[in-house]
């Protein structure tokens, strides 16, 4: 089995990749993310995911390197970042409630031995319930999701904020589209379920 490298230190992505029960290591990508709001989200996340994977080629010359990047955009297709603190998170959520927003998650699989590259992306939309200021504040106090784009963690209490969620792969919402990754790994010769 080829060495598999996840170009991420995200505990969420690591947890998702563990579901495939393949041995892998993680490495921090040395890639500077440049978010250009003039570039279509689908193109941007594919570019960022590939940049992360490519940044590890010299360190891992004979590996399958997985890069992933995510962009959360509001109903006007503007990027929504990480709030960083309670007041900013409150304002962020207050503007999002009662509306539908979308996650774009880019995926790249780079075979550093052959130079073969596969890229793709998945989308997942989330529709927020109408919430009172007290409900928003209580959620933020309990979950403290200040390091998450959009100021919520769907894998936690954030599910209580939602009215509806739609997409092709729930895992893309958390940060790593596993359905697409399984297909990419098989094309690269790493069959998740064996032969």
> Which residues are part of the catalytic machinery?
69
Determine contact, residues 189/2, Cβ cutoff 8 Å: yes
The residues, any chain, with a CB within 8 Å of residue 194's CB and separated by 6 or more, are none
- The first and second tokens of residue 125, run together, are 């939309």
Closest listed residue to residue 45, CA positions, set 27, 66, 67, 77:
67
Which of 10, 7, 69, 66 has the alpha carbon at shortest distance from 35?
69
CA distance 13 to 7: 10
CA angle at residue 138 from 133 to 143, to 5 degrees?
A: 130
């Amino acid at each position: 089995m080829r060495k598999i490298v996840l170009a991420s230190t995200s505990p969420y992505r690591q947890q998702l990749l563990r579901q495939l029960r393949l041995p892998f290591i993680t490495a921090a990508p040395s890639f500077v993310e440049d978010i250009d709001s003039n570039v279509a989200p689908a193109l941007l996340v594919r570019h960022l995911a590939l940049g992360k994977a490519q940044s590890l080629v010299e360190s891992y010359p004979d590996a399958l390197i997985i890069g992933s990047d995510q962009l959360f955009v509001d109903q006007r297709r503007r990027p929504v970042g990480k709030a960083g603190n309670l007041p900013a998170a409150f304002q962020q959520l207050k503007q999002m409630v009662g509306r539908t927003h979308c996650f774009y998650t880019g995926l790249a699989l780079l075979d550093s031995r052959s130079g073969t590259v596969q890229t793709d992306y998945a989308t997942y939309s989330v529709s927020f319930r109408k919430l009172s200021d007290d409900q928003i504040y209580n959620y933020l106090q309990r979950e403290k999701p200040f390091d998450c784009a959009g100021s919520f963690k769907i894998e936690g209490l954030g599910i209580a904020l939602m009215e509806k969620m739609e997409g092709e792969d729930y895992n893309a919402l958390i940060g790593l589209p596993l359905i697409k990754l399984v297909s990419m790994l098989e094309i690269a010769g790493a069959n998740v379920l064996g032969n």
